[in-house]
A = this chain, B = another copy of it.
């Protein structure tokens, strides 16, 4: 990350707190010199630390080939200010369009993977593919988050949560209850 960014490295043990609420993410890849981005909601945490994330990237998505070939990607977490870009990326294919350029998303080099990070997203997770046993059947990849970045000034990110057909729930208030649950 450039020094001008507000983002700081985030402990890997805290990554689950970013993904567990179920936000839409922007998955970026880099393959044969071309970066691409897709919109993704089908993901789940699978382990706390090192953080493992399972996700479905359809073989119909242009990103599928890049993810397969490179074994690397980044998960970038947008907030509601990026809603138009999130929908735009979900409705265009990287086969025909340089989506990062078209939607004005700024690429920042990652630390450990080739896939670019999206500067406008409040958090970025650098990932490597670690298990493909369910890929052929379900297009399901298990990713390990190897490096994480987040803007510490954003305490209650107004993340987007896809409900289908253009509807997105926007993260509301946060409540606190007494709990032993991590």
A positions within 8 Å CB-CB of B? 16-17, 20-23, 39, 41-47, 52, 54-56, 80, 83-84, 87, 90-91, 131, 133-134, 137-138, 140, 142, 156, 158-159, 161-182
Contact = CB atoms under 8 A, between A and B. Distances in A.
Contacts of A131: 134, 137-138
B20 A23 contact: no
Given A44-B55, A134-B134, A138-B142, 19 more contacts: A20-B41, A21-B22, A21-B169, A22-B23, A42-B45, A52-B138, A54-B54, A87-B179, A91-B181, A134-B142, A161-B171, A164-B181, A165-B182, A166-B178, A168-B174, A168-B175, A170-B174, A172-B172, A172-B173
Contact of A42 (B20, B55, B142, B158): B20
A21 B24 CA distance: 8
Given A54-B140, A56-B44, A17 B181 contact: no
Contacts of A134: 131, 133-134, 142
From A16, A55, A170, A177, residue with most partner B Cβ within 10 Å: A177
B163 A20 contact: yes
Contact of A46 (B17, B42, B171): B42
Given A47-B138, A140-B46, A16 B164 contact: yes
